[in-house]
Amino acid sequence: MNNSKKILLLGATISTVILTSCGGNKETETPAADTTAKAAAPAPASTVDEMVDFKFHYLTANIPSPMELVDALPKAGIAFSKDVLNVTENESKYNTSLQKAINFGIYSVDMAYLTTNEEYSLVKGYLNTSRNLAKSLDLTETFDKVVGNRLTQNSENKDSLKKVIDEAYYEVDNYMRNNERALAATQMLTGSWLESQFITLSLIKDVAKNEKNAMLFDKIFEQKRHLESLVSLLKEYEKEKAFKPVIDQIYGLNNQYNSMKVDDASNSVFLNKLAASVARIRNGLVK
Which residues bind to another protein, rule: CB under 8 A? 34, 36-38, 41-42, 44-46, 92, 95-98, 128, 131-132, 135, 138, 140-141, 144, 147-148, 151-152, 179-180, 241-242
Using CB atoms within 10 Å of the CB of residue 187, give its burial: 0 to 12 exposed, 13 to 18 middle, 19+ buried. Answer: buried
Q: Which is nearer to another protein, 17 or 59 (CB)?
A: 17
In the bound complex, what is the minimum distance in angstroms from residue 51's beta carbon to another protein?
A: 21
For another protein, give the closer residue by CB, 179 or 267. Answer: 179
How long, in residues, is the chain?
A: 287
Q: b/e string for 107-136 if b means 16 or more Cβ within 10 A?
A: bbbbbbbbbbbebbebbeebbebbbbbbeb
Other CB atoms within a 10 A radius of the CB of residue 97 amount to 17
CB of 135 to another protein, least distance (A): 7
Angstrom distance (rounded) from CA 142 to CA 168 = 9
Which residue, 5 or 273, is less far from another protein as judged by CB?
5
Q: Taking the complex as a whole, how short is the minimal distance between the CB of residue 199 and another protein, in angstroms?
A: 26
Tell me how far apart the alpha carbons of residues 234 and 177 are, in angstroms, rounded to a whole number. Answer: 19
Smallest gap, in angstroms, from Cβ of residue 239 to another protein? 13
What single DSSP character describes residue 137? Answer: T
| Helical spans, DSSP H, in 44-157 | 50-62, 66-75, 97-116, 120-136, 140-152
Q: How far is the CB of 138 from another protein (least distance, A)?
A: 5
Q: Which is nearer to another protein, 55 or 181 (CB)?
A: 181
Q: What are phi and psi of 14, to 5 degrees?
A: -60, -50
Whose Cβ is closer to another protein: residue 97's or residue 267's? 97
Shortest separation between residue 274's beta carbon and another protein, angstroms = 28
Can you tell me whether residue 27 is helix, strand or coil? coil
Residue placing its CB nearer to another protein in the complex, 41 or 208: 41
Q: Which residues contact 41 (CB under 8 A, 6 or more apart)?
A: none
Q: How far is the CB of 4 from another protein (least distance, A)?
A: 17
Q: Which is nearer to another protein, 46 or 268 (CB)?
A: 46
* DSSP assignments along 140-172, one per residue: HHHHHHHHHHHHH-----TTHHHHHHHHHHHHH
